[in-house]
A and B are shown apart, each in its own frame.
Chain A
Amino acid sequence: MLKNKYIYLLIITVLCLGLLTNPAAAQDDSLNIAIPGRAQTLDPAYLQRVLSDWPVMNSIFNGLVKYKPGTFEVVPDLAEEWEISEDNTEITFQLKKGIQFHKGYGEFTAEDVKFSFERIIAEDANSPEAQSFINLERVEVINQYTVKLILTQPMGRLFTSTLPFNAGLIVSKKAVEEMGREKFASNPIGTGPYVFEEWDVNNNITLKRNDDYFEVGAEYGEIVFMPMSDPTSQELALQSGEIDIGQLTLDNFDQISQMEEFEAEIYPDLAIQYVAFNTSKEPLNNKKLREALRYIINPEEILIGAFAGKAERANSILLEDMTGYWQAPDFKLEDVGEDYVWNLLAEAGYPEGEGLELEYVTDANEERRLIGALIQDQLSRFNIDLNIEALEVGPKIDRWQDGSYDITYARFTNTVDPGYNFQWNLSEQLGKWNLFHWSNKEYDNLWQEAETTLDSNLRAENYKKMQQLMNDDSIGIWVTHGVKTPAWITEIEPVFSPDGVILPWLISNSEE
C-alpha cells in the first residue's frame, strides 16, 4: 500500500513540474506561422498545394524576377536586368554576382538557371510545371553571369506567372545532383532569406535566417511553419499564444479581430467561384433561359448566406488589378423588375416557369450545400425546381466531365497570369474541365493569340474580348474570389501579397 502511494506521489509531482514550465515558450526571435495543411514538397518544380508549399518555398528560394511585395508587379530578383529579342523568343538575363547558395553549396551562376528550368521540361521529369514553360526550347549559358532563354514562340505567361512563381525559382544544381530529386524535396537548397533547418515528425518546418542574404535580411531569426488543418484549432492556438499568424474562420472573424491582442484583415483569394450553366444540353442550351437565370440567381445573397458577408462579389475571373480585367455587367432583378424576367421565361418557352426542373451538382460539404439551397430558394420564387445533388469529389468530376447536369458550382484556383485562368473554357477542355460545356472558336483564337505574345496591351485587349464573349452567351455567373482571413498578434507587422499570402522575411517587430 505504502509503495503505491509513493508511485502516485511521484507521478503527481512530475505532472505538476510539467505544469510549471511555461507553454508557448516561443522565443522572441522566433515566429510560428500556421499553414492550412502539411507542406507536400519543398521542391519548386513539384509544388502541390499552393497554400502550404508556397510560403515555405518562397522563403527559401529566389527567382530571376519576383513580385514586388504587396503587388503583382514584376521586379528583378536574382537577375540584374534582361533584354528581349525583336521576335520575343530570346530573353537574355544578366545575373547578380556573388550570391551564395545556402549551406556552402557555392555561388549562384547561369548553370543553376539552366539546370532549374531544364529539369522541369525534361522528358522524364513528370513535373506539373512543364506547362508553365510550354514554349521553352532550351536555356543557353552565355557566361557565368549571363543566361539566355530560347523559346519556340513567344510566351505570354513567362513574366506574369512562370518566372515570379514557383516554376521560376532557382535551385542549386550541385545540391539536386548530389542528393537526388527525392531527398532534395525535403532538404531544399536555395539563395533565399531563410535557410531550411528541419522538417519534423509533426510536419512542422523550421527555417533559420540567412545571415548572408544578398538583400536586406529578415528581422526574425527563426520561422516555424505549423500545419493546422482544423480552422478552429488555428483560432485557439492563436489565442493561447502558440502561433503568431493564422487564419480566422468567417464566423469568428469579427470577434477575434476586435480583440486588442490581435489584428486581422480580409484579402481576396486568387481563385474564382462561379455558377456554371451547362450550355450544351436541354434546357439550358437556350440562351434566353440562361439570361433569365442570371437575373434570378442573386450572388449577393450567396455572399451573405455562405460567406458571412465577408467575401467581395467577383465580376470577372480576374482580380481587379490584373491584366485584362473586365467587369461583367451585373444582372440585377430589381433593376429590370420581375415582369421582365417572367417575360424572358415565357420567351424561352416556360411561361410562369412551369415544368422547369433543373439538376444541380455540387460538393458534399456544408458551405456548398448551403449555396445550393440558396439558389434553390431563389429559383423557386419563379416556380423553377432545382434538384440538388451533393456529391463526393470523384462522382462530381465524373458528372462534370460527361455533362450530366444543368447547373453546377465550382471553385478554380488561379495564377497571376490570365492565360492560365482562361484556359479551362477552351473548346479543347470540353469533356475535361470546361464546366460550361461551351465552345467558341473566337474565344479559342483570342486565347491562343494572347498566349504567344509579350505585348501586354494586346493580351489585355484579348482577355477583355473573351470575357465579353462569355458574357454575351450568359454561360454563368461569377460569384466571388473567396477570402483569406489572416490574423496576427499585434507585436508583429506582417506583409502580405495582394491575395493574402504571408511574405515571412518581411515581417517586422511593430514595437521597435
Chain B
Amino acid sequence: MFIYITKRLLWVIPTILTVLLLLFSLSYLLPGDPADIILGPRATPEMAAELESRLGLDNPWYQSYLIYLQNIIKGDLGTSIFRDRSVLKVILDVLPYTVILTLAGMGLAVFNGISIGLLAANYNNSYFEKFLTMLSFITASTPTYIAGVLLIVVFSVNFNLLPSIGIGDGGLLDSIHHLIGPALALSVGWTGYIARLTRSSMLETLDQEFIQTEKSFGIPRYYILYKYALKKAIKPIIAVIGLGIGRLLGGAVFVEVIFNRPGLGRLIVDSVNERDLPLVRGGVLVAALLFVVANLIADISYAYFDPRIKQK
C-alpha cells in the first residue's frame, strides 16, 4: 500500500508541472496586447509598462517561467492586478466556502443517492422502482445551472423559503440556511448517478450466495438488506466519491455565480472577466491541485477497497 501511494504521489509532480506550464503560457497565448485588453483606452503608457513587468512580459519567456516556478515553490502566486492583494490571500479567503459547498453537495448526493438506490433495490421490478429509476435519470441529466435556477424560482421566488443569494450574516443556522439551495443544486447530478450505482451494486450483492445463506438462516430481510448487503455493496460507491468531488468542484462554478456566493469558481469567473491574469493563474492552479488531490484520494480508496488494483 505504501509503495502504491508513493507511486501515485510521484505522478502528481508531472501533472502539476504541466498545469503550471499551461497557466504560465496564458499571457503569451492570449492574442492581443495585454495592456490594451486589461486597461482599455484610458491607460497611459506608464501604466502599460508597469502591467507588462508585472505579467513578466518584459523578460524572455524562459526566464519568466523560471521566476514563476521559483515564486510558486516559495508559495508566492503573485499579486492580483485589480485587488492590490496577494493572489494567495485572495484565494485563501474564498476557498473555505467552495470546500464547504462541495462537501455539502457531496454529502447530500451520497445521502439522497444511496436512499433512492436502496429503495429501488428493495422494491425491484415494481412501479415504485420504475418511478425511482426515472427520478434518478432525471436528476443525473439535469445540469447544475438549470437545477440552481429552478430551485431559486420554486423555493425563493414562489415559496419564499430559501434565500437565493449570499452566504448569510455569519450565524451557523443562517449559514446552513443559505447553503441548502446551492448544495442541493450541486448535488442533483451526482445524486442520480449514485442512486443508479447503489441500485445495481445492491442487486448484484443480493444475488450472491452468502445472502441466500443468510436468508435460509431466517435472518430478517431488513437486517440482511441494511447490515450485510449494504456493507458490501457500498464499497464501489465510496470509491467514486473522490472522483465526484472533482466533478462537483466544476459544478461549484455555476452554483457560486447563480447563488452569488463567494468561492473559488466565482473568483475564477470574475478574474477572467476582469482579465486579471495572475489571479486566473492562481485560481486555476489551486482548482487543479484540489482536483489532483481528490483523484488521489479516489485512487487510494479504490486500492484500499479492492486490493487487486495495487498489484497493477
Contact = CB atoms under 8 A, between A and B. Distances in A.
Interface residues of B, number: 51
A23 B260 contact: no
Interface residues of A, number: 50
Interface stretch (B42-50, B202-210, B243-251, B281-289): B42-50
A230 B257 contact: yes
Contacts, number: 132
B94 interface: yes
A226 B149 CA distance: 19
A470 interface: no
A19 B176 CA distance: 9
Interface string A416-429: 00000000100000
A182 B262 contact: no
B164 A230 contact: no
A326 to B, nearest CB: 23
A128 B257 contact: no
A202 B43 CA distance: 28
Contacts of B152: 233, 236, 240
Nearest to A203: B262
A110 to B, nearest CB: 28
A236 B31 contact: no
A202 B167 contact: yes
Interface string A383-410: 0000000001111111001000000000
B162 interface: yes
A323 B177 CA distance: 53
A18 B176 contact: yes
Given A237-B164, A393-B32, A232 B149 contact: yes
Contact of B261 (A37, A131, A202): A202
Contacts of A393: 32, 37, 275
B47 A182 contact: no
A394 B173 contact: no
B31 A23 contact: no
B173 A397 contact: no
A131 B44 contact: yes
Interface in B229-279: 257-262, 269-270, 273-275
Contacts of B262: 201-203
B161 interface: yes
Given A40-B82, A229-B257, A398-B32, A424 B41 contact: yes
A23 B160 contact: yes
Contacts of A38: 270
Count chain B CB atoms within 10 A of each CB in A201, A243, A401 and give the residue with the most: A201
Contact of A394 (B37, B42, B82): B37
A126 B270 contact: no
Contacts of A19: 161-162, 177, 180
Contact of A240 (B33, B46, B82, B160): B160
B198 to A, nearest CB: 16
B177 A128 contact: no
Count chain B CB atoms within 10 A of each CB in A15, A37, A237, A396 and give the residue with the most: A237
Given A18-B180, A236-B153, A239-B157, A229 B270 contact: yes
B163 A23 contact: yes
B226 interface: yes
B50 A242 contact: no
Interface of A: 1, 14-15, 17-19, 21, 23-24, 37-38, 40-41, 48, 126, 128, 130-131, 182, 185, 201-204, 226-230, 232-233, 236-237, 239-243, 392-398, 401, 412, 424, 432-433
30 contacts: A14-B176, A19-B162, A19-B177, A21-B177, A23-B156, A23-B161, A23-B177, A37-B270, A38-B270, A40-B82, A41-B82, A131-B44, A182-B84, A202-B166, A228-B165, A229-B270, A233-B165, A233-B260, A236-B149, A236-B156, A237-B164, A240-B152, A240-B156, A240-B163, A240-B164, A242-B164, A394-B36, A398-B32, A398-B33, A432-B41
Given A23-B177, A126-B44, A233-B165, 14 more contacts: A1-B227, A15-B176, A23-B163, A38-B270, A40-B82, A40-B274, A201-B97, A202-B167, A202-B262, A230-B260, A233-B152, A237-B260, A240-B164, A397-B32
